[in-house]
Amino acid sequence: MWETSQGTRTLTGAEAYLIKELVHYLHDQILVGIEIGEPHFSDVAVFDCLQPTQQLVTLYTVARGLLDPAAAPPKLTATCEGTIYAIFRELETLIEAEIEFEKDSGLSDYSIRSLARAAYIPVRNPSGVYCDLKPEMKSGIDQGWDAVPQKECTVMERWSDFIELLADNILWDRDFQFDRIVGDVSPDQAGLIKQQLGINEDYYSSVAQDIREVDIAEISALIGKLTPATQYADSHSSQPDPRRNIA
C-alpha cells in the first residue's frame, strides 16, 4: 500500500497495469546501464544521483508499496517519491518515442498513449467527490484543452501536462525536487525551508539502500514477481468505475 494524495491505497486496474509496464521498462533501462557502464538518467535529480544498484532497491520498494496490498505503506522520502516521478518520466519518454515513430514511419501505434489514457482517474475533491480536474487545470479547459488527450494526439505538451495529472493521483507534491536547494544552505535555513513547506525533518536525509552486485539478479526477480506480464482485463472489475469517464 501507499499513502497517496488520494488516500492510502494499492493501485488497481489500468492504473496498476500502467505502473507495472513502466517499472518493467525502467528496471530494464537500469540493467542496460549497468551492463554497458553508462547509468540511465530519468531527468529526476534525486533518483539519477543514486547508484544503479540503489535505484533497483528503491524501485522495488516503490513498486511493492504501490502494487502489493499486503505491504505496509513505506515512509515517504524524497528518494521514494522521486523514484515514482522517475517512473512517470519514462512514460513521457515512451510517448514521445511513439509519436516520433508515427511521424517518421507514417504508421499509427497508440499502445502507450492508450495505456496512459486508461489509467487516468479524475482527482477527488476534499468532500470525497471525484471531479475531472484540479482547480489549477481549469484554465486549460477555458483554452479548449481537455483533461485527457485523444490517443491520436501528437502534441507532446498536452501529454506532458496529462502525465502530471497521472502523477498527481499518487504524489502529494514535488517537494523532492528541492533536495539540492535544501542541501546547499545552512542547517538552520534548511530547517526553516522544511518548516515552511511542511516537510518532515528527515525527508531528504533518508539514505537509499544498496545491494551487492551479486544480488542484482535477486532484486530483479523480486521486481519481476511484483510486475508479472498480465493482461489488464484479468485484473479489471467487470463493474464500471464511476471515477472513470474515458471512452
From first to last of its 247 residues, the chain has per-residue pLDDT tens of: 999 999 999 999 999 999 999 999 999 999 999 999 999 999 999 999 999 999 999 999 999 999 999 999 999 999 999 999 999 999 999 999 999 999 999 999 999 999 999 999 765 444 444 444 444 444 333 333 467 899 999 999 999 999 999 999 999 999 898 866 565 556 666 566 656 666 777 787 777 888 876 589 999 999 999 887 554 444 443 333 333 333 3
* Residue 188 located in a structural domain: yes
Give the total number of structural domains in the chain.
1
Residues in a beta bridge with 130:
124
d(CA 125, CA 135): 10
Q: Which domain holds residue 145?
A: 2-235
d(CA 78, CA 181): 13
* Residue 106 located in a structural domain: yes
**Residue 194's pLDDT is what?**
59
* Residue 225 located in a structural domain: yes
d(CA 152, CA 111): 11
* Residue 247 located in a structural domain: no
**Residue 234's pLDDT is what?**
41
* Residue 241 located in a structural domain: no
Cell of 104: 517518421
Cell of 3: 499513502
* pTM of this structure: 0.80
The string over 81-112, giving b where at least 16 C-beta atoms fall within 10 Å of a residue's C-beta and e elsewhere, is bbbbbbbbbbbbbbbeebbeebeeeeeeebeb
Of 47, 44, 124, 28, nearest in space to 92 by CA: 44
Of 65, 67, 40, 66, nearest in space to 54 by CA: 40
* Residue 243 located in a structural domain: no
**Residue 208's pLDDT is what?**
81
Angle between helix 111-118 and 78-105 (nearest 10)? 140
| Three-class secondary structure of residue 100 per DSSP | helix
* Residue 242 located in a structural domain: no
* Residue 245 located in a structural domain: no
**Residue 5's pLDDT is what?**
93
